[in-house]
Structure 1
Amino acid sequence: MDQTLNIIGGGMAGSEAAWQAANAGLQVVIHEMRPKVETFAHRTGNLGEMVCSNSFRSDDHEQNAVGLLHWEMLQAGGLIMQTAYKHRLPAGGALAVDRDPFAESVTAALASHPNITISYDEITTLPNDGTWIIATGPLTSGTLAEAIQQETGAESLAFFDAIAPIVYQESINMDVAWLQSRYDKGETEEERTAYLNCPMTKEQYESFIDALLAAEKTEFKDGETAGYFDGCLPIEVMAERGRETLRFGPMKPVGLTNANDPENKPYAVVQLRRDNALGTLYNIVGFQTKMKYGAQKSVFKQIPGLENAEFARLGGIHRNTFINSPTLLDDQMRLRTRPNLRFAGQITGVEGYVESAAMGLLAGRLAVAEITGKTLPAVPHTTAMGALVTHITGGAEAKTFQPMNVNFGLFPPVDGVKNGRRNRKDRYKAYTDRAKADWKAWLDQAV
């Protein structure tokens, strides 16, 4: 059997799959269409480029499912997580990274690996021969998406993903804004001051909501309907659900004290998170948007402290495609009708950088086992990795399948632990303790 693994897509999933397979001794070819073929969201041809956010979310591996997934990937020698910690930025309890050095490091690691070849070409058809992983992510090229659609015989599922704007730090009015992580979370002073906060009075908030609702938005093409992933809703869509929605979402004022006016509690707060190590760029947290560029500048400059804001990048919206994995994939992540093709990453219906990379890690290891003729034990569904792959390959209801972040709701219950809300901390700790033991045991068997 040919010992070469071909991977389409050099994003989080494709990069991680390549790393796992190459380290196991396989020859790997990564097929990446960028920079020859551009996408709406990417700016470079780097592998592992981050486009929506610079955060891998919570790094708490005892009380948070995504933090547990961080831990599991590190235990498996994951490139994406190792590189993320190398380029970590202060972000309270979250794992945020300096996105450009991060992608440059991922690219350098893969390009210098003796078992990896990077081919900058666009794959437009589904290959008939060889072993392939399709990890093209949410921005799969139109021609390849059509080929997938023809093969599966079903209309491609899709939703629309929005990107938050990035502001130059020097243009933020620090007489109004202040540095503080929510609840002063973090072990160091740098972590406790990882966010910039812009306060709003009730009158300012109401005026902001009015402007947001009235702003000119991006129109969809004929026949397109917006099916947004709830974890990445445009702020104007949230505002349309109720005037207080944002104040109980990304603009919640809890856990913060205005250093410039400590006696007055803000009615709402806009937070900005550091986007690079120099601290020269900040992204507006939770402010994904489909407003047109001119409207964005007008509306966002109504935020106190951002009245003179200069934008390194404005927000945007793009089509985000994924397949109905519970129907189309087997438990090895292979396309049932074409078992030489595996799918990995966000195109499978997982949501988030970490989840995408995790499915790439698993797909890479499954491909190694298949090519080398080894039998790999099933990943325990008690682990974060196993809970995710179980969900997308049969655990989810196919008729209502939508992108999903990892969460403890995907895990089987822990015996002897009450499910009452008061015992949530103990319950989550029980989930993570069990997962860590089972993941270590699986890795020992999978060697």
Structure 2
Amino acid sequence: MADTLHIIGGGMAGSEAAWQAVQLGVPVVIHEMRPKVGTFAHKSGDLAEMVCSNSFRSDDNEQNAVGLLHWEMRAAGGLIMEMADAHALPAGGALAVDRDAFAAGVTARLRAHPLVTVLDDEVTTMPDARAIIATGPLTSGALAQAIAAETGQDALAFFDAIAPIVYTDSIDMDVAWEQSRYDKGETEAEQRAYINCPMTREQYEDFIDALLAADKTEFHEGETAGYFDGCLPIEVMAERGRETLRFGPMKPVGLTNPHQPDVKPYAVVQLRRDNKLGTLYNIVGFQTKMKYGAQADVFRRIPGLTDARFARLGGIHRNTFLNSPTLLDDQMRLRSRPDLRFAGQITGVEGYVESAAMGLLAGRMAASEILGLPMDPVPVETAMGALLTHITGGAEAKTFQPMNVNFGLFPTVEGLKGGRRGRKDRYKAYTDRAKAAWTDWLHRPDIAAQ
């Protein structure tokens, strides 16, 4: 039997890394500190628990980079995408999941596999055997210190926020209505995947005033509040200008209020289904650092949420990541300890899908190394390759920050029109090229034989 691969952390990246390794016949041990050691955001001991959102974002694999990443992971037999598809919820053109059923499905599949062992233990020191560290943004303090000591520098950090979740039966549907923006979606359920709460200008101004005045979490002395732009707290966005939210998560375009079809809302708050039963909805884009008491007061100012009951309020936590362009090689190995790989958000990718994708690659790379099998470089033209290149040398180390997958990370396709008018053809060219390269890579003899 092949040597055992240890995987520290059972989140998106760790779960996908384990799945890929066992598909190649390499036994794995997943070390997950939950539920014995909890975190600010997690509520269970399940693997791959989703905490910030229940969305995998756009599933369009011809015009969207994250949709392309979905496609590549499905083509590679990814467990995360299989479970996401199995527990998908109506969400227009996005892929949203029932987060509890999704995590339970991932957990059951991995625990049932004969080559997988799951240990509920906290790893507090650097592993002394071949391992993948996929501990995510909430790496335990002791392990974070060990990583910092090994790398010779402090891990970088920014702050991440999570959005509140509302009980559906507490939403006033005499005020709110169901509709996806621009009625996007092939089925009626997808076209009505969101609940919308309209605001007049006066209500919007009142909401912004309350938001700016609310009590908020203060940072400890010496901490600096750097944020990833994809998860900015709403009050930080509001501080950038009173109209910022109205052109961001509260934009009213593409929506018609059936209660008042002739009145155009000044702003709209959207809620997205959070579970298959439809009993929970999360407030889209409403990550927050407001204190709990202030949240309830401010959010109940939203029309339709006057009597809202919250299954979970929002919050803020530290998110730690490595300066990967400096510390990792092109195989995601720590330069000072080549027997250790890193995967997931701790490498400086942002988002559930991106984290799982880096787990997929790390699992395949580690398993191939254990088995003594060659592995050709991941094509830079693919979404996987673009992300990998970015975190392992493509980004500027001095200004390195977490990044979602986007077409700006891909090598350019020559001969295409520029500007907005040529964008559709350009993105299609990127995705066509990526799919061909990824398919070819997956079916090369050295890859396919695994």
In structure 2, the residue matched to 1:338 is: 337
Counterpart of 2:17? 17
For residues 13-42 of structure 1, what are the alpha-carbon distances to aligned partners after superposition, in whole Å with 9 as ceiling and x for unaligned?
A: 000000000111001000000000000000
Tell me which amino acid in the other structure corresponds to 2:79: L
Distance 1:162 1:232 in 2: 6
In structure 2, what is the Cα distance between the partners aligned to 1:123 and 1:2? 23
Q: For residues 196-216 of structure 1, give each alpha carbon's deviation from its aligned partner in whole angstroms, at most 9, with x where no partner exists.
A: 000000000000000000000
Residues 252-271 of structure 1 correspond to what in structure 2 (within 5 A)?
A: 252-271=251-270
- AA partner of residue 339 (structure 2): N
Per the alignment, residue 174 of structure 1 pairs with 173
1:147 aligns with 2:132: no
- Tell me how far apart the structure 2 counterparts of residues 121 and 419 of structure 1 sit (CA, whole Å): 52
Q: Work out the CA distance in 1 between the residues paired with 2:49 and 2:110.
A: 13
Letter aligned with residue 4 of structure 2: T
- Retained in 1: the 8 A contact 2:2–2:27? no
The whole-number CA distance in structure 2 between the counterparts of 1:250 and 1:415 is 34
Distance 2:151 2:134 in 1: 16
Secondary structure of 1:38 counterpart: coil
Confirm or deny: 8 A CA contact 2:322 2:347 kept in the other structure: yes
Following superposition, the deviation at residue 421 of structure 1 comes to 1.9
Residues 224-260 of structure 1: per-residue CA shift (max 9 Å, x gap): 1111000000000000000000000000000000011
Q: Which amino acid aligns with 1:347?
A: I
Q: Which amino acid letter does the alignment assign opposite residue 245 of structure 1?
A: T
Superposed counterparts of 1:161-310, under 5 Å: 161-310=160-309
Hey, what does 1:35 align to over in structure 2?
35
- Report the secondary structure of 1:199's partner residue: strand
State yes or no: 1:425 paired with 2:424.
yes
SS in 2 for 1:198: strand
Say yes or no: does 1:116 pair with 2:116. Answer: yes
TM-score by length of 1: 0.99
Q: Deviations over 1:372-397 (max 9, x none)?
A: 11110000010000000000000000
Alpha-carbon distance in structure 1 between the residues aligned to 2:246 and 2:237: 10
- The whole-number CA distance in structure 2 between the counterparts of 1:2 and 1:319 is 37
- The one-letter code matched in structure 2 to 1:261 is Q
Letter in 1 for 2:45: G
Classify the secondary structure of the residue corresponding to 1:319.
strand
| One-letter code aligned to 2:353 | V
Structure 2, unmatched stretches of 5+, are none
Query: Which stretch of the first structure deviates more once superposed, 219-228 or 282-291?
Result: 219-228
Counterpart in the other structure of 1:368: 367
CA-based RMSD of the aligned residues comes to: 0.8
> Can you list the C-alpha shifts for 1:253-280, whole angstroms capped at 9, x where unaligned?
0000001100000000000000011111
Cα distance in 1 for residues equivalent to 2:25 and 2:4: 10
Give SS of 1:43's match: coil
Q: Deviations over 1:154-182 (max 9, x none)?
A: 12100110000000010000010000000
- Hey, what's the Cα distance between the residues in 1 that align with 2:415 and 2:108? 47
* Cα distance in structure 1, aligned partners of 2:418 and 2:319: 35
Residue 406 (structure 2) aligns with: 407
Q: CA deviation at 1:420?
A: 2.3
Q: Would the alpha carbon gap of residues 24 and 2 (structure 1) be closer, same or farther in structure 2, given more than 3 Å must change? A: closer
Q: Which runs of 5+ in 1 are unaligned?
A: none
2:223, 2:9 → 1: CA distance? 25
Letter of the 2:201 counterpart: K
Determine if the alignment matches structure 1 residue 61 to structure 2 residue 74: no
Tell me the distance in 2 between the aligned counterparts of 1:74 and 1:188: 23
Q: Distance in 2 between matches of 1:336 and 1:380?
A: 22
Instruction: State the distance in 2 between where 1:428 and 1:410 align.
Output: 12
**Displacement of 1:2 after TM fit?**
6.0
Q: Report the TM-score when normalising by structure 2.
A: 0.98
**Alpha-carbon distance in structure 2 between the residues aligned to 1:292 and 1:308:** 19
Which stretch shows the higher mean deviation, 381-390 or 366-375?
Answer: 366-375
Mapped partners of 1:251, 1:2: distance in 2: 53
Corresponding position: 1:387 with 2:386: yes
SS at match of 1:378: coil
Please say if residues 333 and 342 of structure 2, whose CA atoms lie closer than 8 Å, have aligned partners that are also in contact.
yes
State the number of aligned residues. Answer: 446
Query: Structure 1 vs Structure 2: percent identity of aligned residues?
Result: 78
SS state at 2:45 partner: coil
Deviates further, 148-157 or 229-238 = 148-157
Aligned counterparts of 2:380 and 2:368: Cα–Cα separation in 1 = 19
The 1-side partners of 2:210 and 2:122 are apart by: 42
| Cα offset, 1:222, TM superposition | 1.5
1:50 corresponding residue in structure 2: 50
Q: 1:262 is aligned with what amino acid?
A: P
Q: Which amino acid aligns with 1:143?
A: A
User: For residue 324 of structure 1, what is the aligned residue in structure 2?
Assistant: 323
Cα deviation, residue 422, structure 1: 0.8
